[in-house]
Chain A
């Protein structure tokens, strides 16, 4: 995994699935500010801080475990099973590529 260099404050683009965009009242991509290292957990923390209605919809309250039918993609990689401490790719930290929250394909 590449290191993130540059400023201590990063603006990260986040793509949300339609239902979460509606909940957060976001039109198009969301954007969050991460202070310090741009890790998977830091982006999710910032997302929930910026949009409190998303608490519990992506990760469980309390345990902060990813919900089973939610996936995380970035720069063509599936990061769903990575630890919260994982540094996200430079392109995400730089705002060139979005971090995507995906509702897994499942029937019903």
Chain B
């Protein structure tokens, strides 16, 4: 079948929304894994039938589910995430040293090249890799042990590795982002890592606002045609790097708030990016009760509000870091989910929006697949 498949992770299960290429009428399936938190599910770019899902609860811990038929059926695979060696300590909220301990998988990133290879970003922050379709997991411990680990500290949501970005032109290069530590890059397939946080300023959050680590990076994204350009939604500030994370500069421009969680790049226009400004600190809802996606066609600084079809009064939902995705259709489709249980879709690059579901549990993640 052709068309698109939207994978939605929520506080109480997963949902799969499918449509044809027009992306106007949607079939809704779910809840899958009802009652479990589905932090993330994502399909393999190598084989769209292969989907991985992170399933967890406070009661029964972590499971990883795998589908080999596009989400029709699922099987639990390996769920043992054991840190390599003696994991040591990181900073706790009160400044004391806290032993590293596994809580959950926040993000699953299937390999661009191999259907059985998938990366998992976990809390407490570490990166794991499976090369057997999720059956077994091994930590890429060079990240946690690269030197700054004892200085990492949890954000409000826990100390999580939430973003994994692969460079499509250099298979050995990968980026991860950790709250609250920052961005790290490997150029040797995950063996060694370097902090890539020069230019970030976290005034009022770090004793040295320009420290090498400690920044609350919420999300990073790149376009595959121009992989040395990175975009970042930091706790505050929209940032851009033109040298693969070597240095960052701010491109927040005139946004109504430079706080937010997701950031994503148009599938066909590497300088067109999307954010959802949120009021902070602690409110975490849209400014003025108006849910607005902002689009920049210039790689930042100049932004336009996209409001058509989105609630423009009395809207106080949040959009979480993994809850936005873009498809590769023409024109490019944009999708995002809210903590109020709506999933909004635009089939025209963000100009017009429709809520394709209204009343799901709080949405944690949204991914989209173009089907062959």
Contact = CB atoms under 8 A, between A and B. Distances in A.
Overall SS of chain B's interface: loop
Interface in B1-54: 35-36
Contacts of B76: 23, 53
Contacts of B171: none
Overall SS of chain A's interface: loop
A69 B36 CA distance: 14
Band of interface residues on B = 10 to 19
Contact of A56 (B35, B57, B80): B80
The listed residue with most A CB atoms (<10 A of its CB), out of B58, B62, B82, is B58
Contact of B63 (A23, A61, A70): A23
A57 B58 contact: no
B280 interface: no
Given A19-B35, A19-B36, A106 B80 contact: no
Contacts of A61: 79-80, 82
B60 A108 contact: no
B58 to A, nearest CB: 6
Band of interface residues on A = 20 to 34
Contact of A103 (B60, B63, B82): B60
A20 B82 contact: no
A69 B59 contact: yes
A62 interface: yes
Interface in B74-132: 76, 79-80, 82
B311 interface: no
A17 to B, nearest CB: 8
Given A53-B76, A55-B80, A56-B79, A106 B63 contact: no
Contacts of B59: 17, 19, 67, 69-70, 103-104, 106
Interface in A10-69: 17, 19-20, 23, 53, 55-58, 60-62, 67-69
A19 B31 CA distance: 14
Interface of B: 35-36, 57-63, 76, 79-80, 82
28 contacts: A17-B59, A19-B35, A19-B36, A19-B60, A23-B76, A55-B79, A55-B80, A56-B62, A56-B63, A56-B80, A57-B61, A58-B60, A61-B80, A62-B80, A62-B82, A67-B59, A67-B60, A67-B61, A68-B58, A69-B58, A69-B59, A70-B59, A70-B60, A103-B59, A104-B59, A106-B58, A106-B59, A108-B58
Task: Kindly list the 8 A-B residue pairs having the minimum CB-CB distance in the complex, ordered from nearest.
Answer: A57-B60, A69-B59, A61-B80, A103-B59, A56-B79, A53-B76, A56-B61, A57-B61
Interface of A: 17, 19-20, 23, 53, 55-58, 60-62, 67-70, 103-104, 106, 108
Given A67-B59, A106-B59, 12 more contacts: A23-B63, A53-B76, A56-B61, A56-B62, A56-B63, A57-B79, A61-B80, A67-B61, A69-B58, A69-B59, A70-B59, A106-B58
